[in-house]
């Protein structure tokens, strides 16, 4: 038995914040505003996982009104969500993602992101897709004011 899930997230890019994507600190002059570390790649993956098991969304599990999640590391949130996935009897087959940002270039960090995320997800590096698109200079992403990510996942019921 298989389940698919889709996730999406967007964060404003602001000065004075670190840019964290896929659990990796990316050198950049702007970072993602947010209650947690603002890791929109992980947040999109979390919503894809929760969606696949119909277990709500990231805002319901980790509300930004809760001081427990202030500056929370999204890798820790992802690990908690994987507990939910496993409690429901599923394992991850693969995850695919698209990061939409005008800058910075993420290619040099794909390996580091896989090194962080794949052990948490319980998948091989070859089972995590990471792709990047610009917004061709259009809209809030194109002007560099925001970064967004789309994610899909396939889960398989454990025997």
Name 65's bridge partners.
none
9 binds Mg ion (CB under 5 A): yes
Q: How far is the CB of 13 from Mg ion (least distance, A)?
A: 13
Q: Strand runs (DSSP E) across the chain, as ranges?
A: 2-14, 19-21, 24-26, 31-32, 90-100, 128-133, 146-157
Closer to Mg ion by CB, 3 or 43: give it.
43
Angstrom distances, CA of residue 1 to CA of 130, 154, 155:
25, 10, 8
102 binds Mg ion (CB under 5 A): no
Closer to Mg ion by CB, 9 or 102: give it.
9
Q: Which stretch binds Mg ion (CB under 5 A): 39-47, 48-56, 95-103, 139-147?
A: 39-47
150 binds Mg ion (CB under 5 A): no
Contact between 5 and 155 under an 8 Å Cβ cutoff? The reply is: yes
Q: Which stretch binds Mg ion (CB under 5 A): 8-16, 100-108, 125-133, 150-158?
A: 8-16
Q: How far is the CB of 38 from Mg ion (least distance, A)?
A: 6
43 binds Mg ion (CB under 5 A): yes
Closer to Mg ion by CB, 1 or 60: give it.
60
The residues, any chain, with a CB within 8 Å of residue 56's CB and separated by 6 or more, are: 50
114 binds Mg ion (CB under 5 A): no
Look at strands 24-26 and 19-21 and give their pairing. Answer: antiparallel
- Measure the CA–CA gap between 105 and 30, rounded to whole angstroms: 13
Q: How far is the CB of 2 from Mg ion (least distance, A)?
A: 26
3-state secondary structure of 43: helix
Give the interface with Mg ion as residue ranges (CB under 5 A).
Answer: 9, 43
């Amino acid at each position: 038995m298989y389940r698919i899930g889709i996730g999406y997230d967007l964060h404003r890019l602001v000065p004075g914040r670190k840019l964290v994507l896929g659990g990796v600190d990316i050198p950049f002059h702007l970072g993602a505003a947010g209650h947690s570390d603002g890791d929109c790649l992980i947040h999109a993956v979390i919503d894809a996982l929760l969606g696949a098991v119909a277990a709500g969304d990231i805002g319901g599990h980790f509300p930004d009104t809760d001081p427990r999640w202030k500056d929370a590391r999204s890798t820790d949130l992802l690990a908690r969500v994987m507990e939910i996935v496993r409690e429901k009897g599923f394992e991850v087959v693969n995850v695919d993602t698209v990061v939409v940002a005008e800058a910075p270039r993420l290619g040099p960090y794909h390996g580091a992101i896989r090194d962080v995320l794949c052990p948490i997800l319980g998948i091989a590096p070859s089972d995590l897709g990471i792709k990047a698109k610009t917004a061709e200079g259009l809209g809030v992403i194109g002007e560099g004011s925001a970064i967004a990510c789309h994610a899909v996942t396939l889960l398989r019921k454990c025997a």
